[in-house]
């Protein structure tokens, strides 16, 4: 009938016959041995992938906390304390990345790239944000990779390396950031610089927005050279980067045209209103 269950093909075989087939399988046959080795290899790879996903989440969380801390730099009475504290937090993040590097020893990193990419992008965003606050320039991918070279002489003792513990020579691990991860991290940095511009205006800092506007324009020009020829994720971030640049440029326009007639403590409110109008116009278009 219409409400009955559809009979499957293998239901035509008696259950006793299927049980006999299972019992007749020789577990020590070369075929079964091969499939058992495949099972062990796949289980090991899946377990490693899950460990890397967890490490990437920890790296993302700690990097976000570092970024939140760095946003207090403009309003803190002593900025050096903020920078020192952020360095301690980034060291803790790098120790997590060291564990990732140890997990990838002897492995093809690109097989596990999707597991670790979000954490690496967030770390690049935090490290480049701190670097900009210190030097007012963009950190290079070579400098990022230099920070991700680890030895046994680091503060955290190595784990899961008992087989090599007898060697007296220091071991070295490194994790090279891919150019795509670097570009995506830099693209996310522009959003933090836009927020830095808002907080600077709120604190009465008139010079920083113009400096940030010029810096973001240079980054945007660099991304436009890539255009649609680059990876999809990079071209997708270009729209957000353009939004951040527009907000900072409008802040500079407001400061230049109306800065002298608006009290400093009201500049942040005017700027916030301008950015809300920009978001509404972009939402309607």
- Binding residues for Mg(2+) are 125, 192
Dihedral pair phi/psi, residue 261, rounded to 5° = -95, -10
Picking from 24, 133, 152, 10, the residue whose alpha carbon sits closest to that of residue 82 is 133
Vertex 179 angle, CA 177 and 181, to 5°:
65
86, 121, 136, 179 from 131: Cα distances, Å: 11, 15, 7, 18
- Give the residue ranges of the annotated binding site: 125, 192
Single out the residue of 217, 195, 203, 155 nearest to residue 64, CA to CA.
195
Closest to 186 (Cα-Cα) out of 156, 228, 153, 144: 144
Q: How would DSSP label each residue in 76-102?
A: -S-HHHHHHHHHHHHHHHHHHHHHHHH
With a CB cutoff of 8 Å and minimum separation 6, the contacts of 64 are: 122, 126
Residue 251 near residue 209, CB atoms below 8 Å: yes
> If we measure between CA atoms, which residue out of 130, 143, 141, 7 comes closest to residue 73?
130
């Amino acid at each position: 009938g219409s409400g009955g269950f559809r009979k499957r093909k293998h239901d035509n075989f008696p259950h006793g016959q299927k049980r006999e087939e299972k019992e007749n399988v020789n577990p020590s046959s070369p075929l079964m041995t091969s499939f058992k080795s495949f099972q062990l290899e796949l289980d090991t790879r899946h377990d490693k992938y899950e460990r890397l996903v967890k490490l990437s989440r920890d790296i993302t969380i700690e990097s976000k906390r570092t970024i939140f801390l760095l946003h207090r730099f403009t309003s803190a009475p002593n900025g050096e304390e903020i920078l020192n504290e952020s360095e301690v937090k980034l060291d803790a993040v790098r120790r997590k990345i060291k564990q990732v590097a140890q997990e990838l020893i002897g492995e093809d990193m690109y097989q596990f790239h999707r597991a670790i990419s979000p954490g690496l992008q967030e770390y690049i965003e935090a490290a480049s944000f701190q670097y900009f606050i210190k030097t007012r320039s963009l950190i290079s991918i070579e400098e990022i990779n230099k920070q991700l070279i680890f030895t046994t002489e680091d503060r955290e003792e190595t784990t899961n390396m008992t087989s090599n513990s007898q060697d007296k020579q220091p071991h070295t691990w490194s994790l090279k950031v891919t150019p795509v991860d670097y570009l995506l991290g830099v693209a996310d940095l522009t959003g933090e610089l836009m927020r830095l511009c808002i907080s600077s205006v709120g604190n009465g800092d008139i010079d920083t927005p113009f400096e940030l506007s010029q810096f973001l324009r240079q980054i945007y020009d660099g991304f436009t050279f890539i255009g649609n020829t680059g990876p999809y994720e990079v071209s997708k971030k270009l729209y957000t980067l353009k939004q951040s640049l527009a907000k900072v440029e409008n802040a500079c326009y407001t400061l230049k045209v109306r800065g002298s007639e608006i009290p400093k403590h009201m500049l942040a409110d005017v700027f916030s209103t301008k950015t809300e109008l920009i978001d509404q116009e972009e939402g309607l278009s």
